[in-house]
Amino acid sequence: MNPDTEIPAGIYIHIPFCEKKCFYCDFYSVTDISQIPLFMVALKKEIQMVSRVSLVFDTLYIGGGTPSVLDADLVAQIIGFAFKYFKILPEPEVTMEVNPGTVTLEDLTNYRNSGVNRLNIGVQSFHAENLKWLDRIHSAEQALLSLDWARQAGFDNVGLDLIYGLPAQTENNWLEDLERAVDLHPEHLSCYMLTRESGTPLDKEVSAGRIRWAGDNTLRGLFETTIDYLTRHGFLHYEVSNFARFTEADGSAWKSRHNSKYWSFAPYIGLGPSAHSFIEPERCWNHKSVQNYIRELQDGRLPVADREKLTREQLLMESIYLGFRTTKGIDLVRLKDKFGIDFLKHFHEMIADFEKKGFLKVTKTHCALTVKGMALLDSITAAFTNQDIC
């Protein structure tokens, strides 16, 4: 196991290509797929160079971008390389993001045969008008077909991504999406609120007044509706945007093992342009541009753009923020062991105030946000982290 954490690490591989750039998205990706061959050479080199790290892993996540723009044999090469060079424990979770409209039954079967055992399908919505507004390349029918093919290809662990909070979206419209999703029986659902990421075309349109942004109260209402609906329909809400279906066998839930690492301070390695890595106390991130990424590796250098060593205060603040993102909440015992801080004592006035307002709940071992509190995650976290805590 890994020193310090006793939690196996995760590998994230960023595939920086999309068929078309979505106007609301700020993940790094380009549409020039002619760079794929050189990217593949660079990625393999990066895997070889980074694999010298003394960590053991139990998850591999291929995200992007749109990984399914890669031919299945390239995905097989990436997985083969990762397994050859990294120390990966038995029964790893191997996830791949796919977009409807970019995959066939044959592709999905090949991904499955290459070792992918969990799929994340970017459905976004089952309403044609929403997909049109989001300018997605796929239709609702293609999304349904992708899920059907995923099952035929042998995937028994499938997550769907949905987006809500579109300007003209009503609560009923969103509830219909949730209902459709639940009926399809996925193992996992990620429900993301549409956000106005600075610098995106969406952000510019909203600033120019050409798109009317849904108000905070509407968005908070949709957030609460989501949690209410899904927890009443067999899903465990375990992180702000993430829901895992309870299994019928033993009542456990199909959480994303990989994403859970981000919220529990487990180490992870990020490969590919713009990918971030974290091995406490250091975080580093790769060059964003595919060209720079390729050039650095061609010259025999790791494509790291920058790195920072988190101070004790920064680590503590991140523990609070990440803890509040999860429904389990901040692990008070762990926080005390690690930072020597008695959280309940240190913040007793603020905690009492938030508890009274129904934003927080405290047990002997954890301090967690309620649904109402999670809708105000950023401002509540800021109230704690803006105080002198060290």
* Contact set with ligand SF4 (CB under 6 A): 18, 21-22, 25, 27, 29, 64-66, 99
If the CB atoms of residues 49 and 193 are measured against ligand SF4, the closer one turns out to be 193
By three-state DSSP, how is residue 331 classified? Answer: strand
> Residue 124 CB, nearest distance to ligand SF4 (Å)?
8
Give 103-172 as a DSSP string: --HHHHHHHHHTT--EEEEEEE-S-HHHHHHTT-S--HHHHHHHHHHHHHTT-S-EEEEEEE--TT--HH
If the CB atoms of residues 192 and 339 are measured against ligand SF4, the closer one turns out to be 192
If the CB atoms of residues 99 and 130 are measured against ligand SF4, the closer one turns out to be 99
CA distance 186 to 182: 7
> Residue 347 CB, nearest distance to ligand SF4 (Å)?
37
Question: Which tokens belong to 239?
Answer: 């992180």
> Residue 288 CB, nearest distance to ligand SF4 (Å)?
14
Output b/e per residue, 247-258; b: 16+ Cβ within 10 A.
eeeeeebbbbbb
13 CB burial (10 A radius; 0-12, 13-18, 19+) = buried
If the CB atoms of residues 21 and 84 are measured against ligand SF4, the closer one turns out to be 21
> Residue 65 CB, nearest distance to ligand SF4 (Å)?
5
If the CB atoms of residues 101 and 267 are measured against ligand SF4, the closer one turns out to be 101
> Residue 19 CB, nearest distance to ligand SF4 (Å)?
7
If the CB atoms of residues 50 and 70 are measured against ligand SF4, the closer one turns out to be 70
> Residue 140 CB, nearest distance to ligand SF4 (Å)?
16
